[in-house]
Amino acid sequence: MIHLTQGVHRAMRQHPDRLATVCGSRRQTHAQFADRVARMAGALQQLGMSAGDRVGILSLNSDRYLELYFAVWWGGGVVNPINTRWSAGEIAHSLDHCDTRILVVDDTFEPLVVELSERSRSLRTIIHAGVEQPPSGVFAYEQLIADHAPIVDAMRCDDDLAGVFYTGEGLAQDGDIGLHAAPMFHLADGAFSLMLTLRGCTHVMVPSFQPELVLETVQAERISCLVLAPTMMQMIVDHPRLLAYKLDSLQTILYGTSPISEALLKRTVQRLPGTSFFQAYGQTEMSPIVSILRPEFHTAEGRLLGKQRSAGRPAMCVEVKIVDADGRELPRGEVGEIVARGPGVMQGYWNDPEQTSAALRDGWVHTGDGAYMDEDGFIFVVDRVKDMIVSGGENVYSAEVENAIALHPAVAMCAVIGIPDDRWGEAVHAFVVCKPGTVAIDTDSIKAHCRNLIAGYKCPRTVEFRDALPVTGTGKVPKNTLREPYWRGQSRRVS
């Protein structure tokens, strides 16, 4: 039986004087961290948090964010990490949706306090975890810690609800220094936090992902491991000043949240020699890992095995099947939907039994991702099922087209969607961002390049060049946003 706070206890006993967190000028040991967690847990209970109550966190990355994760659990509560890109209306809706009564904000989001208080029916108590003076009627984070004694851990475990997340193995070693560059409201970073804490590692936080800041922090703090989305990796490895930084401390990068092109992965491996790479495929619904592609398959020798384009094999204690529309398991090599089960399966979507029953059937999470499994058990994700393009009766997986386009030497980023077409039903449309300083390319160049790599019907019929693509807080390109102008006014989003 593993408790949610077990890592805090373990690190406190085994490495009490080891550095636990680094956040700007603030540094604390594991003993100090555990003491603050227990004190904040007591404060939350006194403010009305009972067993199973939700506590919202609206903040940029910080050491206090990590403290709150564990303090809420220590006090018997449930974390509700809030997407920092949401509007006030969306935040208020999420608070009411899961009856969140306590909200913690930092200086960045303190200006939303009045509006959130007016919009949310459930919100009762607000805690200010910034460095500025809190507004009237708002509790000061540091004062709460100073005023409350440590309490006994509630020891949340097993089927106890740990968190409400509105939706993104072997990574951390003893003594590692991990950098929180991806947003801490996402469960991918939540899993990273648990791994680092269980190993008694040091957490270093930057408020948000900025390529230059990440490079500076890796150099200054001797970061050994971090988690990135592919879009973040692209901004790092293609940064014009990459070689100006000393990055030899970097040992491990875990990447995931969306597919990565072979071209980007090859560039990353070449430009960060000596770094081991893990790919994690998963979903929030699986808390969040489904499969892992280990470092040996990212090397030149590993590429010869043909596994580098895969999402790896199922993680420990996770079962995976590829099934057809009726839930029947398909033979190896046939494309279907990934379904998974294991100890990390969610309890369900909050107050949404209809969506829960659609996604969770007989203990299996239906991921909505299209893939096939080879004879060795490696999972090859081809697309989101809903992102599959049907053009002239042929299935086109956008991930395959994106992978081909990304191999063009002038392409930095790309995304592929299906758009309405009177003749073919749907046509393949590509969005392309070129690398700075490259020779200008046009639609015909992209088409000709793709015809050498994939079948003609899969090649983009139209190409739209942009300076940048939209990116979500978790590093994904939101294809629904890209699709919207093309499908607006249509009765359905497929043709």
Task: Name the pLDDT band for 173 (thresholds 50, 70, 90).
Answer: confident
C-alpha dihedral sign at 276, 282, 88, 63: negative
Whole-number mean pLDDT of the chain? Answer: 91
Longest Cα–Cα distance in the chain: 71
Q: Which of 454, 370, 443 is nearest to 407 (CA)?
A: 454
Q: Are strands 360-361 and 364-373 parallel, antiparallel or unpaired?
A: antiparallel
pLDDT in tens, 134-159: 888 899 999 999 999 999 999 999 88
Alpha carbons 414 and 410: distance in angstroms, whole number: 11
What are the C-alpha distances in Å from 474 to residues 89, 97, 110? Answer: 20, 22, 22
Q: Is 3.40.50.300 the CATH classification of the domain at 388-487?
A: no
Alpha carbons 465 and 300: distance in angstroms, whole number: 32
Percentage of the chain surpassing pLDDT 70?
Answer: 97
Instruction: Give all strands (DSSP E) within 190-304, no chain letters.
Output: 202-205, 225-228, 252-256, 276-282, 289-293
Give the list of residues 6+ apart from residue 118 with CB closer than 8 angstroms, or none: none
Mean pLDDT of 188-215: 94
Task: Name the pLDDT band for 167 (thresholds 50, 70, 90).
Answer: low
pLDDT in tens, 369-426: 899 999 999 999 887 776 788 887 677 889 889 999 999 999 999 999 999 887 788 8
Mean pLDDT of 184-193: 90
Contact (Cβ atoms closer than 8 angstroms) between residue 463 and residue 446: yes
pLDDT in tens, 96-131: 999 999 999 999 999 999 999 999 999 999 999 998
Mean pLDDT of 228-243: 91
Task: Name the pLDDT band for 491 (thresholds 50, 70, 90).
Answer: low
Instruction: Supply the pLDDT for residue 170.
Output: 52
Alpha carbons 364 and 23: distance in angstroms, whole number: 39
Residue 67 has pLDDT above 60, yes or no: yes
Task: Name the pLDDT band for 259 (thresholds 50, 70, 90).
Answer: low
Architecture of the structural domain at 6-147: 3-Layer(aba) Sandwich (3.40)
Domain boundaries of the chain, sorted by first residue = 6-147, 388-487
C-alpha dihedral sign at 214, 216, 220, 225: positive
Q: How far is CA 182 from the centre of its chain?
A: 7
